[in-house]
Chain A
Amino acid sequence: MNVPPVEQTPVLLDRRAPRRYVDGVVTGVRDFEEEQDDVVRSLAARLVEGDESALEAVYDRWSALIHTYALRALGDAHDAEEVTQQVFVAAWRSRHTLTPSPSALPAWLVGIARHKVADVRAARARDAGRLAAAVALPEVRHAEEQSKDDEVAERLVVRQAVEELPDPRRTIVLLAFWEELSHAEIAEKVGLPLGTVKSHVRRGLIKLHQQLEGVRHDSRRP
């Protein structure tokens, strides 16, 4: 499948030099997290009630996650756009099935995306060039694809969770895990004490863990 050139706008990754931060923000983060959970919960509730502005907010927050997932799973920009569109339209139409909880919303969207990706694959399989898959889709290949997709989805869920961290934690976690900088290097870069940096990285890892577990848990629900 050809990947036509697309306007892919890498978002969210801030390549600017990290700002320097004033110490003393570590404790404020916990409140922020709780507040975030409340925001997501009420967003889900509004969506279930049929509030269109909630759909817009849900789209704005998770469309990059869903789009990237579709892009990675399908390797085709056009198909990824179609899937993204379908996921949010489907989310709207089946919103009654959503249980509002902080992680249920992304888990639910990813679940819908999984189905849409499978639909595209099935449509492709019917393509003459993919005849082999069309007639007797080998279970093994399917399972492999599925587990690859799951891995992609989890990676993206983690990435999304990082992007939702308040700064400076977000920047520190990105530097630590994506840029693989040492805690000392990060401390130097952002101008915070080593202990503060360590604490942010630790809390960041735990938050990512919790977010991922939540999504995993909610994905397993029927």
Chain B
Amino acid sequence: MTHVDLDDLADLVLDPDATPDSVREHVESCPECTDRLAALFDVRRLTSGEPLVAPPARVREQVLAQVNDVPGDAPVRPVPLQVAAPPPEVARPRRRVPVWAAGLAAGVALVAGLGLGRTTLDDATTPGRDAPEAVVAAADLTALDSTAGRGVARAVESDDTITLRVQASELGGEDGFHEVWLINVDGERMVALGVLADGDAGEFQVPRGLLDEGYLVVDISVEPDDGDPTHSGVSLARGELV
């Protein structure tokens, strides 16, 4: 069986009325030609939309500057986080993780081999205070844009309350205070637990029901002293209680 050639199939897309019946009949009975015809129609469907938009010239300069920073033959290295300064920030209502840093760091994490899902089995119990207590859940805190450890949070139980003990580390020296949040795994709700008074450690009483409801993601944010009670959007560490 000879297939319809591509030119004829193209004509079937462009000028169906002018296509001989023999071509049409063959295509109808031939899955292969039908597929190719569908592919051509697909192209035609994709021919619309706006023209390409070139990036501003500074992007090119930045690319070349970065490339020149790294010796040409260097293997892919996970480290250089200092990048040429991004273009001047457009005023944003709230700060957030600069995109360029997040992207780079995500790349770093990939290169380093993702080590997600670590669990803390060591030191699973902390010495009790007065009442007998048990660690019911723990979260390894990590940076958001890498797997770098940022401490640990433990939920310990005594009587009917849960105490969340947060021991964070390496949160960085950014201005502002560190606030602890519990985010629900449904992704829609969160509660503020309070501030880490000394910067990286603190204890918070949590109603047991909260954990049962799915508030399991411990989040530490850096909050500017601006009177805004909502999350700043800048999370320094996070981990899920398991």
Contact = CB atoms under 8 A, between A and B. Distances in A.
Given A7-B56, A67-B59, A154-B46, A202 B7 contact: yes
A131 B87 CA distance: 27
B147 interface: no
B174 interface: no
A8 B100 contact: no
B44 interface: yes
Given A212-B43, A212-B46, A59 B60 contact: yes
Interface in B184-214: 184-188, 190
Contact of A205 (B43, B64, B99, B144): B43
Interface stretch (A30-38, A99-107, A119-127): A119-127
Contacts of B50: 10, 68
Given A131-B187, A131-B231, A89 B67 contact: yes
Q: Per DSSP, are chain A's interface residues mostly helix, strand or loop, or mixed?
A: helix
Contacts of B15: 183, 198
B32 interface: no
A188 interface: no
Given A11-B53, A122-B106, A59 B40 contact: no
Interface in B102-147: 102-104, 106-107, 144-145
A81 B47 contact: no
A86 interface: yes
Interface of B: 6-7, 10-11, 13-15, 39-40, 42-44, 46-56, 58-60, 62-64, 66-68, 70, 72-73, 76, 86-87, 89-90, 92, 94, 96-97, 99-100, 102-104, 106-107, 144-145, 183-188, 190, 217, 221, 230-233, 235
27 contacts: A6-B56, A8-B53, A10-B51, A11-B54, A52-B64, A79-B99, A82-B99, A85-B66, A85-B100, A89-B63, A94-B76, A119-B107, A120-B99, A123-B97, A123-B103, A127-B96, A128-B233, A131-B187, A132-B187, A154-B46, A155-B49, A159-B49, A173-B47, A177-B44, A177-B48, A178-B47, A202-B7
